[in-house]
Structure 1
Amino acid sequence: MSLPQPVPPSWKDLGKSSNDLLSKDFPFQGFALEVKTKTPSGVAFKVAGNRDAKSDTINGDIEAKWSDRKHGVTITNTWTTSNILRSQVELENQIAQGLKLDVTSSLHPDKSTKTALINAIYKQSGFHTRGALDIFKGPTFTADTVIGRDGFLVGAEAAYNVTEGNVTRYAAAVGYNAPEYAITLHGLNNLKTFTASYYHRVSSDVEAGAKAVYDSKSTHGGVGIEVGAKAYLDQAAFVKAKINNAGVVALGYTQTLRPGVKASFGLALDTTKLNEVAPVGPSHKIGLNLVFDS
């Protein structure tokens, strides 16, 4: 008798270990501040703001989240500096075990634009599927499924325009997850863009990963490759580094200053244009991210 299979990752989380390694904790796009607090009644507030180094614009939002774990209900409301109001209502494990429903909507009063998305997620041993209906866009129905067994993963995604009666997008993926490494292959954009990602936990202190992307519609052709690594200096700090075949090197350093306070520093250098002085040179970037979590 075979052992019960774990719940596989969702479609959007296939290759997540490699993607997180190569994209997170590199805050070189500008300066960002995030403050998180929680009231005794269980309402969590988050205020976030960032200044984009390229456009010099400042954007931010304030979010309030209330959860009732006993009844599986979560309500989240967000208001952005662009005057966009977002709301999300989630209901989990109430209608059926493993089933999660949520309704996400947004409203832009200045432009009289609105969106509404109904999502359903169902996961069981060896099976993870999602469905989403975009009411005002199409409407369009999107579904994806991932099946997993003994570490092997197979997934697919498709979007269907209800009004026009045709499939507007499809994709597929295969992968293998082990305790210390993961390999994922994607065929995206109607199988016109292909990606391969690899993640390896070398030791308890060192992680490494790589990603290759090939776009058959790209006018430049060739394959884009990016490799990176993460090393823990101690329990409160780690460094990250990555480089791509375009010659851009990115460095990141994250330090927990005290419980609930974390600072991240990022630097990106274009090694083909080292004569430009960072951060003044347009080819080089530098940034800082502060997080306060009470």
Structure 2
Amino acid sequence: MSLPQPVPPSWKDLGKSSNDLLGKDYPFQGFALEVKTNTPSGVSFKVGGSRDARADVINGDIEAKWINRKQGLTVTQTWTTANILRSQVELENQIAKGLKLDVTTSLSAEKNTKNALFNATYKQSGFHTRGALDLFKGPTFTADTVIGRDGFLVGAEAAYNVTEGNITRYAAAVGYNAPEYAITLHGLNNLNTFSASYYHRVSADVEAGAKAIYDSKSTHGGVALEVGTKAYLDPAAFVKAKINNSGVIALGYTQALRPGVKAAFGLALDTQKLNEVSPVGPSHKVGLSLTFDA
């Protein structure tokens, strides 16, 4: 008798370990601040702001989230500095075990635009599927499914335009997840773009990963390659480094200053343009991020 299979990751989380290793904790685009607080009544608040060093633009948002774990209900309201109001209502494990329903809406008062997205997620042993209906774009119905067994993963995604009656996008993926490493292959954009990602937990303190992307319709051709690593200096600090085949090196350093307070520093250097007058010119980037979680 075979053992029960774990719930596989969702479609968007295939290759997540490698994507997080190469994409997170590099705040070199400017300066960012995030403050999180929680109340005993189950309401949490998050205020975030960022300043783009290139465009000299400041963006921010304030989010309030109420969670009723007994009823499986979550309500989230977000208001941004672009005067966009977002609302999300989630209901989980109430109609059926493993089923999650949510409705997400957004309203832009300045541009007089609105969006509404209905989502359904169902996950069980060895099976994870999602469906989404975008009412104001098409309307378009998107569905994806991931099946997993003994670490092997197979997934597919498709988008269907209800008005035109045709499939507008499709993709597929295969992968293998083990406790120490993960491999994922994607065929995206109607199987015109292919990506391969690899993640390896070398030890308790060191992680490594790589990602290659090939676009069959790209005018430049070739494969975009990126490799990176993460090393813990101690339980409160870690460093990250990555480099791509365009010669751009990125460095990140994250330090927990005290419980609930975290600082991250990021630097990106274009090794092909190191002779620029400014050390942080058009080809080089530096940034800082502060997070307060009460």
How many angstroms apart in 2 are the aligned matches of 1:58 and 1:265? Answer: 19
Spell out structure 1 runs of 4+ moving beyond 4 A: none
**In the alignment, which residue of structure 2 is the partner of 1:113?**
113
* Counterpart residue number, 1:25: 25
Q: Which residue in the other structure is 1:173 paired with?
A: 173
| 2:185 aligned residue | 185
The Cα of 1:39 is off from its aligned counterpart by: 1.5
Q: 1:110 to 1:232 in 2, by over 3 A?
A: same
Q: Whole-Å Cα distance in 1 between the matches of residues 173 and 274 of structure 2?
A: 38
For 1:275 and 1:40, how far apart are their aligned partners in 2?
A: 55
Per-residue CA distance 1:219-269 (angstroms, 9 max, x = gap):
000000000000000000000000000000000000000000000000000
Match of 1:259 in 2: 259
2:88 alignment partner AA = Q
Secondary structure of 1:123's partner?
strand
Q: Which residue number corresponds to residue 209 of structure 2?
A: 209
Q: Could you tell me how far 1:42 is from its partner in structure 2?
A: 1.4
Higher alpha-carbon deviation: 272-281 or 207-216: 272-281
Return closer, same or farther for 1:228/1:277 CA change in 2, 3 Å cut-off. Answer: farther
Q: Is the 8 A contact 1:249 1:271 kept in 2?
A: yes
How far apart are 1:32 and its partner, in Å? 0.2
Tell me if structure 1 keeps the 8 A contact 2:25–2:253.
yes
Runs of 5+ unmatched residues, structure 1 = none
- Over 3 Å counting, the alpha-carbon distance change for 1:65 and 1:279 in structure 2 is farther
Residue 225 of structure 1 is matched in structure 2 by 225
**Aligned residue pair count:** 294
SS in 2 for 1:276: coil
Which AA in structure 2 matches 1:130?
R
Whole-Å Cα distance in 1 between the matches of residues 189 and 96 of structure 2? 33
1:136 maps to 136
- Cα pair 1:270 1:283 within 8 Å, conserved: yes
Which residue of structure 1 lines up, in the alignment, with residue 41 of structure 2? Answer: 41
Instruction: Provide the rounded CA distance (Å) in 2 between the counterparts of 1:287 and 1:9.
Output: 32
1:66 paired with 2:66, answer yes
Q: 1:72-128 CA distances to partner (integer Å, 9 max, x unpaired)?
A: 000000000000000000000000000000000000011110000000000000000
CA deviation profile, 1:188-212 (whole Å, cap 9, x unmatched): 0000000000000000000000000
TM-score scaled by length of structure 1: 0.99
CA contact (8 A) 2:280 2:286 kept: no
Aligned to 1:248: 248
Provide, for residues 36-57 of structure 1, a one-character-per-residue CA deviation record: whole Å limited to 9, x for no partner: 0011211100000000011010
Distance in structure 2 (CA, Å) of the matches to 1:276 and 1:37:
43
Amino acid at match of 1:250: A
Maintained 8 Å contact 2:27/2:266:
yes
Q: TM-score, normalised by structure 2?
A: 0.99
Contact 1:278 1:285 in 2 (8 A): no
Partner residue, 2:275: 275
Deviation at 1:279, TM superposition (A): 4.5
Q: Give the aligned partner of residue 154 of structure 1.
A: 154
8 Å contact from structure 1 (residues 278, 286) kept in 2: no
- Code of the residue aligned with 2:217 in structure 1: it is K
SS of the residue 1:5 aligns to: coil
Q: Which amino acid aligns with 1:282?
A: P
Which position in structure 1 is the counterpart of 2:235? 235
Contact 2:202/2:208 (8 A) holds in 1: yes
8 Å contact from structure 1 (residues 91, 100) kept in 2:
yes
Distance 1:124 1:148 in 2: 10
**3-state SS, counterpart of residue 172 of structure 1:** strand
Q: Does 1:56 align with 2:49?
A: no
Q: After alignment, is 271-280 or 195-204 more displaced?
A: 271-280
What letter matches 1:3 in structure 2? L
Tell me which residue corresponds to 1:91: 91
Structure 2: which 5+ residue stretches go unaligned? none
